[in-house]
Amino acid sequence: MSSATQTPSSIIDPDKLFILAAGIVIDPRGRLLVVRKQNTEKFMLPGGKIDQGESPIEALIREFKEEIDLTIAPNLANFIKTYEAPAANEPGYFIRSNLFFVLLPTPIEITPSAEIAEAKWITPQDVAGMNLAPLMVSFVIPTWLDLLKDAGESLGFDTYLDA
């Protein structure tokens, strides 16, 4: 069981479980893309629920287009792992998130749409003052910071990030 999991899968009520696809999207400067849904306070990864008959990668591509007007090729998204965590905005609910890593080839502006109220690129210095979803705190931020530290220079990330 991962560190993000707080309740074993076997005791999660299936009616209180959201199955999602989400992307750890990093731009060429090493910044992480986070979003906040309308009428919520916590920042999370872009992505959303997987529709019936849809694969996780299909859901990820659809959600990116709907929520942040970002179109990516399927080969740009690399599957990382499936993690479980408490839902950020629905007390008593859990998420099972199929996480993908997406390294964008060029910097882009993100425009929130659909249910997204705010989308922004963050640096490590921004994290301390942010209201983040549980999965962000337990897995995403540490994974991103490790990537910046271990592979940042080879991936060409800007050194000003001081990761």
Q: What residue ranges do the domains of the chain occupy?
A: 15-152
Residues of the chain with pLDDT under 50: 1-7, 159-160, 162-163
Residue with tokens 């591509």: 61
What count of Cα atoms within 13 Å lies in the side-chain half-sphere of residue 38?
6
Instruction: Name 115's Cβ contacts closer than 8 Å, sequence gap at least 6.
Output: 37, 38, 67
> Would you state the CATH architecture of domain 15-152?
Alpha-Beta Complex (3.90)
pLDDT at 157: 66
Question: What's the maximum distance between 2 C-alpha atoms anywhere in the chain?
Answer: 45
* Cβ atoms of residues 99 and 141 within 8 Å: no
Burial class (CB in 10 A: 0-12, 13-18, 19+), 120: middle
Q: What is the pTM of this model?
A: 0.84
